[in-house]
């Protein structure tokens, strides 16, 4: 079975994708510098799949080490490139860190691909490229809006770098996946999201508040132009998201793409408000999430959800996990983390 390089493979989305790849028989090589993940994630992957993936602690910014890695694991047939820094607020404070990490990593990989005869590339992009869309649900041909942060800009520029590179070298193929809001964890609760410090994202803040690590969740604004006044997003189970990567890799390997660069939204097509998320989380898990309404968060988008029809029809992939199951998995993971912390 084909050998797949997964950069950022010990991270949140990467680890779930490695599990799905291994379940489908792919041989996985992870490259991760552990800047935002833990080596123990490999144990979780092994527990779930029975296979410990090859792992290299390498910074993708380091061209020479990446070159050696491609030499060592020859015949890599596709790359899924997750490795990136992703904290929006931090990117405003440290823009060059973000431009260097996210863009140099990408450029290195694209440069090394023809040298090592790797032709297939899957890229983690984001619905952040749409900003506040004029039309909802948002389709892949919606205009790209000026980025609201250096992080968001690295995704926009990253997409352009891929397009230009492939235009100049038509033997390469890429699938760009624009994720909406990934949440939840593997059903085994062996792997999940490991936020560093105080979470910026909603779901880890919800679970950490429910377990008592945080006193109160702040709901950023209830005066938006939405039914209950709080912001709306498209929350997608991380396992559904992971499975889409397997489909994308298979499509590339089978030589099925209709264009050298294809773009797909990965979302459910369902928009949910912050208050709906809190209420459903409390109901399905039988636990309280103390929260209060505070002012709006700067730079927040009012509402965005995906039109997933292109991915549904072309990839034959569809998000299938229910919201209830998704929120239960997030809670089971938080409880597992707490139990592990107690045992230490």
Say whether residue 174 binds ligand NAD (CB under 6 A).
no
Q: Which window, 45-53, 77-85, 135-143, 330-338, contacts ligand NAD (CB under 6 A)?
A: 77-85
CA angle 88, 217, 125 (to 5 degrees): 25
Q: Which is nearer to ligand NAD, 195 or 257 (CB)?
A: 195
Pick one of ligand WQD, ligand NAD, none as the site partner of residue 164 (Cβ within 5 to 8 A by kind).
Answer: none
* Binding of residue 105 to ligand NAD (CB under 6 A): yes
Asked if 156 is part of the footprint of ligand NAD (rule: CB under 6 A), the reply reads no
DSSP calls for 49-118: HS-PPEEE---TT-HHHHHHHHHHTTTEEEEEE------HHHHHH-HHHHIIIIIIHHHHHHHHHHHTT-
Q: Give the whole-angstrom CA distance, residue 104 versus residue 62.
A: 9
For the purposes of burial, counting CB atoms within 10 Å of the CB of 90, is it exposed (0-12), middle (13-18) or buried (19 or more)?
middle
Among 6, 8, 221, 327, binds ligand NAD (CB under 6 A): 8
Contact region for ligand NAD (CB under 6 A) — 19-27, 81-89, 208-216, 224-232? Answer: 81-89
Integer Cα distance of 268 and 220 in angstroms: 23
**45 touches ligand WQD by CB under 6 A:** no
Both tokens of residue 135?
């039309």
Which helix (H) or strand (E) segment holds residue 6: the answer is strand 3-7
Among 63, 73, 99, 220, the residue binding ligand WQD under the rule CB under 6 A is: 220
| Residue choice 4, 6, 12, 235 for contact with ligand NAD (CB under 6 A) | 12
Compute the distance between CA of residue 325 and CA of residue 107 in angstroms, rounded to an integer.
38
User: Is residue 245 near ligand NAD by the rule CB under 6 A?
Assistant: no
Residue 160: CB minimum distance to ligand NAD, A: 16
Part of the chain binding ligand NAD (CB under 6 A), chosen from 48-56, 57-65, 70-78, 107-115: 57-65
From the list ligand NAD, ligand WQD, none, pick the one residue 59 interacts with, judged by a Cβ distance below 5 to 8 Å according to partner type.
ligand NAD
Distances (CA, A) of 39 to 9, 54, 58: 10, 12, 13
Which one among 120, 156, 165, 181 touches ligand WQD, defined by CB under 6 A? 181
Does position 262 interact with ligand NAD (CB under 6 A)? The reply is: no
Q: Any contact of residue 39 with ligand NAD (CB under 6 A)?
A: no
Beta strand spans in 127-260 (E)? 173-179, 181-183, 217-220, 232-233, 235-237
CB 9 within 8 Å of CB 32: yes
10 contacts ligand NAD (rule: CB under 6 A): yes
Place of tokens 């097509």: 269
Burial of 126 (0-12, 13-18, 19+ CB in 10 A): buried
Query: Residue 7: which of 75, 65, 55, 72 has the closest Cα?
Result: 55
Q: Which residues have CB under 8 Å from 145's CB, separation 6+?
A: 129, 130, 131, 132, 133
**How near is the Cβ of 300 to ligand WQD at its closest, in Å?**
5
Contact between 61 and ligand NAD (CB under 6 A)?
yes
Residues 6+ apart with CB under 8 A from 157: 103
Q: Measured from the CB atom, is 85 or 120 closer to ligand NAD? A: 85
The correct pick among 6, 21, 36, 243 for binding ligand NAD (CB under 6 A) is: 36
Active site residue ranges = 151
Looking at 231, 248, 315, 337, which residue binds ligand WQD (CB under 6 A)? Answer: 231
Which residues contact ligand NAD (rule: CB under 6 A)? Answer: 7-8, 10-14, 31-37, 59-61, 82-86, 101, 105, 124, 126, 179, 181-182
Which residues contact ligand WQD (rule: CB under 6 A)? Answer: 86, 88, 126, 128, 152, 181, 200-202, 205, 217-220, 231, 233, 274, 297, 300
């Amino acid at each position: 079975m084909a050998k797949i390089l997964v950069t950022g493979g010990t991270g949140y989305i990467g680890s779930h994708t490695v599990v799905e790849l291994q379940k489908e028989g792919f041989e996985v090589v992870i490259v991760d510098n552990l800047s935002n993940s833990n080596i123990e994630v490999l144990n979780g992957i092994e527990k779930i799949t029975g296979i410990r993936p090859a792992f290299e602690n390498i910074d993708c910014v380091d061209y020479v080490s990446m070159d050696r890695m491609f030499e060592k694991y020859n015949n890599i047939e596709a790359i899924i490139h997750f490795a990136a820094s992703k904290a929006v607020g931090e990117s405003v404070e440290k823009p060059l860190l973000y431009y260097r990490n996210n863009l140099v990593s990408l450029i290195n990989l694209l440069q090394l691909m023809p040298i090592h005869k790797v032709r297939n590339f899957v890229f983690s992009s984001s619905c952040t490229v749409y900003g506040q869309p004029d039309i909802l649900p948002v389709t892949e041909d919606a205009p790209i809006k000026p980025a609201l942060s250096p992080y968001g800009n690295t995704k926009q520029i990253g997409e352009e770098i891929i397009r230009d590179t492939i235009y100049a070298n038509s033997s390469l193929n890429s699938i760009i996946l624009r994720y909406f809001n990934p949440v939840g964890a593997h059903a085994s609760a062996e792997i999940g999201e490991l936020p560093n410090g105080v979470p910026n994202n909603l779901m880890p803040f919800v679970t950490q508040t429910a377990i008592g690590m945080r006193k109160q969740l702040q709901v950023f604004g209830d005066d938006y132009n939405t039914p209950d006044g709080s912001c709306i997003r498209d929350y997608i189970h991380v396992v559904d998201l992971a499975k889409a990567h397997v489909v994308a890799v298979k499509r590339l390997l089978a030589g099925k793409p209709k264009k050298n660069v294809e773009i797909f939204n990965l979302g459910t097509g369902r928009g949910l408000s912050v208050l709906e998320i809190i209420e459903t989380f409390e109901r399905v898990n039988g636990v309280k999430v103390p929260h209060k309404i505070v002012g709006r968060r700067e730079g927040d988008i009012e509402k965005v959800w995906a039109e997933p029809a292109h991915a549904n029809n072309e990839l034959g992939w569809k998000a299938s996990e229910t919201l209830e199951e998704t929120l239960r998995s997030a809670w089971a993971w938080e409880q597992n983390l707490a139990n592990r912390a107690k045992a230490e």
